[in-house]
Homo-oligomer: A and B are copies of this chain.
Amino acid sequence: MEVIRENKFDDVDSPSSVGLVETKLYTYVNPPDVMVLDSGQKISPVTIAFETYGNLNSEGSNAVLIFHALSGDAHAAGFNSRKDAKPGWWDIMIGPGKPFDSNKHFIICANIIGGCRGSTGPSSMNPSTGKPYGLTFPEITIKDMVKPQKTLIEHLGIKKLLCVAGGSMGAMQALQWIVSYPGMSEGAVIIATTPQHTALQIAFNSIGRYAIISDPAWNNGDYYGSSKKKPDMGLSIARMIGHITYLSEEAMHKKFGRKFISGGKKNKPVADFTKDFEVESYLQYQSESFIKRFDANSYLYISKAIDNFNIAEGHSNLAEAFKGIKARCLLVSFSSDWLYPKEQSLKMVRALKINGIETTYINIESEYGHDAFLIEDRKLKSVLKGFLSSLEETGE
């Protein structure tokens, strides 16, 4: 979630920050109950980590569910501790006076199943072996990710959400939600995503996975325990490949160009293959911070779920898949996002409109590529605010 332009973040005492927040746990299933996955496999227990900001109103009509992207987690806003250097991953959008306004809305964000940030995933204990799952963790899908979140919402006393929202894989979950649970959300914000990955998008993810499983330390997924080496090298490479695709050529050019790290020492007597240019050091720094907080097996399972995602699957076409949707939709793409170019959003806009679903679409001019949704952007904020207001009016 690191971005090429640093956001100016609120601090914990800012009036527009949700301040200190706590990550909670929700048990979705406990033995003998089981979660039956999309693949038919069963798993239990399943716990998911979540955070909430603001309060549910007495009508239960102001709840917004935020979905995170590949590398995200439940901590979307505020600070878990006064010592945190940075707030949650979408703090620019969540808080008093922000588009997802904790003074008006009850905002929920949960870590997905398969993740490594508090929810049940490959690094969790497999109760049948007493050891971490590793590769015995079952395959998961985007459909599987939204399921425990639906029950969490009901558990929190919410019958219908005001809105679901997410970017990238988060938007895939938002799409899945409005398709799987028609009538369970008044609106949906679907940012920088696609109804299914193309060969190029699969290829980028797959090379990352290939790097992880080629790392000798990966050890067929069995690397947990303090005595074992983790597949940091493979995960670093996967992250660097991903990171490139999240940025725009323009932003990289502006920030790094061809700048050298140490004053233009281009032709050194001994070649340095990865540490001459600023862009190289940036990518390595980003991947080093990533491997500290992310599990390589989670990366495999989640990126695979993204590649397998196909909202049109089982339908003759996309419009057919969108037939039952009851939510009003806002779709957003970014002009410099070459990972999920605007054509993929437009495809969905057309399929929604064929079904007469009220749909707003905007392609925002931005130089920040795919990651633009994580960056302070006045246009995105105002579009989100407008959309949320219109949903509130309908709800009244």
Where the two chains meet, the residues of A that have a C-beta atom closer than 8 Å to any C-beta of B are 38-41, 135, 138-139, 141, 196-200, 202-204, 206-207, 209-214, 216, 233, 236-237, 240-241, 244, 247, 249, 252-253, 255-258, 266-271, 273-274, 276-280, 283-284, 300-301, 304, 307-308, 310, 338
Shortest distance from the beta carbon of A267 to any chain B beta carbon, whole Å: 4
Which residues on B sit within 8 Å (CB–CB) of A249? Answer: 198-200
- Closest chain B residue, CB of each to CB of A255: B199
Q: How far is the CB of A245 from chain B (nearest CB, A)?
A: 10
Chain B minimum-CB-distance residue to A234: B214
- A214→B277 CA distance, assembly (Å): 18
Inter-chain CA distance A363–B13, complex, in Å, is 56
Q: A258-B196, A268-B139, A270-B135 are in contact. Are A214 and B237 (CB under 8 A)?
A: yes
A277 and B198 contacting across the interface, CB-CB below 8 Å: no
Question: What chain B residues lie within 8 Å of A212 (beta carbons)?
Answer: 273
**Cβ–Cβ contact A214 & B198, under 8 A:** no
Beta-carbon contact of B277 and A199 below 8 Å = yes
Q: In the complex, which of the residues B196, B211, B268 contacts A211, with contact meaning CB atoms closer than 8 Å?
A: B211
CA gap between A256 and B207 in the complex, in Å: 16
Flag if B203 contacts A252 (CB, 8 Å).
yes
Q: How far is the CA of A138 from the CA of B204 in the complex (A)?
A: 33
**A207→B39 contact, CB < 8 A:** no
Distance between Cα atoms of A139 and B267 in the complex (Å): 7
The docked-state distance in angstroms from the alpha carbon of A277 to that of B309 is: 13
- B200 contacts A258, C-beta separation under 8 Å: no
Cross-chain pairs A/B with CB under 8 angstroms, 7 sampled: A199-B279, A209-B274, A210-B240, A210-B274, A211-B237, A213-B273, A273-B304
Choose among B204, B269, B271 the residue that contacts A244 (Cβ–Cβ < 8 A). Answer: B204
